[in-house]
């Protein structure tokens, strides 16, 4: 019997996040271009008498260890479909900032799903795993797939995208998190205040940017920088005005593009190469406008079983 299975799963940055109007069901249609980046959580599944979640890493204290943990929900969903107990210990070794707009919880859900499938020998097809991911949350399918992809619907209907090179990024982690639903509510509120209206009747359907998709395919960082957009950025900055200083610190240090990552409050800086990344990272650290700085690149692979190899 397999003693345990460890799955490594990446964080993401949204290089385009176009948000449509508020739907009657409370969701928003999105045109969401995801890029997986090289910050990872590791999820280890080990047989146990009952479902249990533990977490290690700098942000571990902010992660719920009960059945609301997305990794636990993933294990329960797979077990329910296959008529078995979710008798597993899930350990999350967490390196992805929590509540930072980098899909850390979604990553853990995808990691737990793949780890439990391997541990239990469930043999779920890729399609079934993606179905369960979509039930668990809009960003979970992408965490399974990795690379780069366009997400439509709530972000869960994925089309893989070609990436022609490595993109270098610096992430500035802010103190505390932002609630993703609160950021969407603020986006709606700002649209009402601006007089444009916030519903699907008022807001044009979100569309992917052809220039951005071309830039990814070409591996052209300058072209990507010119095309990145995040419709949630104004809302995140409105809830956390101090992000403006972080964004300015990165731009001042020569970043090609500075943006809020997803719903924030992590900010993302696209740079030309690894040397430039170190320069921008040093400037961000010196600025005193963020809690931590991480240097990485993308695309990164999706959820991958690392042990047993
Ligand atoms: P997204 O980018 O998908 O909007 P996020 O990166 O902003 O997500 P997460 O790190 O996924 O945010 O955490 C959001 C909230 O989800 C946390 O505050 C926490 O209460 C809850 N949560 C549930 N499971 C997990 C998990 N495994 N890891 C981190 N947070 C989790």
Q: List pLDDT tens digits, range 135-174.
A: 999 999 999 999 999 999 888 889 999 999 999 999 999 9
Burial class (CB in 10 A: 0-12, 13-18, 19+), 293: buried
Q: Tell me, yes or no, whether 125 and 179 share the same domain.
A: no
Sign of the dihedral through C-alpha 123, 8, 81, 89? positive
Same domain, 133 and 262: no
- Quick check: CB of 98 below 6 Å from ligand 1? yes
Give the gyration radius of the chain's Cα atoms. 19
What global pTM score does this model have? Answer: 0.95
Mutate to test the pocket of ligand 1, among 58, 74, 99 (most ligand atoms within 8 A of CB): 99
pLDDT (average), residues 282-305: 97
Helices within 154-209 (DSSP H only): 180-193
**Domain extent for 193:** 167-298
Active site residue 12: yes
Determine, yes or no, domain membership for 306: no
Is 64 close to ligand 1, i.e. is its CB under 6 Å away?
yes
Tell me: the pLDDT tens digits for 222-234?
999 999 999 999 9
In sequence order, the 6+-apart residues with CB closer than 8 A to the CB of 193 are: none
Give the pLDDT confidence of 235-282 residue by residue, as tens digits: 999 999 999 999 999 999 999 999 999 999 999 999 999 999 999 999
Q: Is 69 in the pocket of ligand 1 (CB under 6 A)?
A: yes
CATH code of the domain in which 78 resides:
3.30.230.10
The answer to whether residues 185 and 293 belong to one domain is: yes
Is the separation of the CB atoms in 230 and 245 below 8 Å? no
Alpha carbons 38 and 294: distance in angstroms, whole number = 10
Average pLDDT for 123-143: 96
- Which tokens hold the place of 48? 């146990």
For residue 2, what pLDDT band results from cuts at 50, 70 and 90? Answer: low
198 and 288 inside one domain:
yes
Residue 292 has pLDDT above 80, yes or no: yes
Q: Which one of the listed residues 108, 139, 188, 231 is annotated catalytic?
A: 139
Residue 62: inside a domain: yes
């Amino acid at each position: 019997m397999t003693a345990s299975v460890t799955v490594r799963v990446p964080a993401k940055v949204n290089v385009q996040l176009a948000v449509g109007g508020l739907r009657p069901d409370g969701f928003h249609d999105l045109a969401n271009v995801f890029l997986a980046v090289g910050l990872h959580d590791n999820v280890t599944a080990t047989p146990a008498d009952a479902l249990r979640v533990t977490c290690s890493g700098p942000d571990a204290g902010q992660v719920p260890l009960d059945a609301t943990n997305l990794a636990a929900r993933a294990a329960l969903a797979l077990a329910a479909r296959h008529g078995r107990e979710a008798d597993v210990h899930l350990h999350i070794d967490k390196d992805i900032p929590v509540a930072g707009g980098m899909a850390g919880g979604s990553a853990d859900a995808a990691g737990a799903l793949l780890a439990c499938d391997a541990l239990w020998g469930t043999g779920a097809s890729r399609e079934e795993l993606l179905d369960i991911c979509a039930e668990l949350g809009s960003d979970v399918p992408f965490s399974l797939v990795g690379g780069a992809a366009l997400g439509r619907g709530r972000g869960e209907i994925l089309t893989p995208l070609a990436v022609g090179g490595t993109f270098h990024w610096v992430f500035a982690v802010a103190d505390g998190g932002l609630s993703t639903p609160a950021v969407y509510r603020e986006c709606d509120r700002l649209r009402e205040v601006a007089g444009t209206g916030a519903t699907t009747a008022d807001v044009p359907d979100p569309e992917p940017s052809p220039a951005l998709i071309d830039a990814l395919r070409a591996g052209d960082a300058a072209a990507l920088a010119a095309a990145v957009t995040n419709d949630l950025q104004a809302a995140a900055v409105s809830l956390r005005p101090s992000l403006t200083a972080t964004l300015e610190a990165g731009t001042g240090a020569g970043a090609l593009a500075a943006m809020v990552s997803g719903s924030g409050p992590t900010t993302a800086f696209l740079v030309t190469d690894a040397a430039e990344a170190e320069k921008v990272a040093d400037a961000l650290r010196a600025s005193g406008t963020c809690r931590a700085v991480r240097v990485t690149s993308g695309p990164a692979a999706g959820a991958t079983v690392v042990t047993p190899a």
